[in-house]
Amino acid sequence: MLIKSLYGLLRDEGYIVDTTDHPAAAVQAIMKTDYEAVIMDSCSFGLSAEDAQHIIRAMSPKIRVILIGTPENGDDTSALRVPADPKMLRELLNARDKYEYLS
């Protein structure tokens, strides 16, 4: 629900948005389509969002992966706490490379 609530905000900002219901589906989607960013709810079922994040970064290091919620590793700077700050989300999405948004 959290990620779906961001759908309208991101569309209004001019992003092309696809949604999936589970992190495993997001991993499958990046194998088929070239995405610039993936936003995942850290409270997920099945494959954890943190595990999906590691898989996605290993497969496609240039994709920005942003976790929203309460990720297990709370020191990840690519994670946003709930409620997600739209300004911070824009900054993470507009980062040019992973080093820019991880620093």
pTM: 0.70
For the stretch 59-99, pLDDT in tens is: 988 888 888 876 555 445 577 776 667 777 777 777 654 44
Task: For residue 60, give the 3-state DSSP assignment.
Answer: coil
Counted residue by residue, the chain has a size of: 103
CATH number of 2-102: 3.40.50.2300
User: Is pLDDT at 1 greater than 80 in this prediction?
Assistant: no
48/55 Cα distance (integer angstroms): 11
For the stretch 28-40, pLDDT in tens is: 999 998 888 888 8
Boundaries of every domain in the chain:
2-102
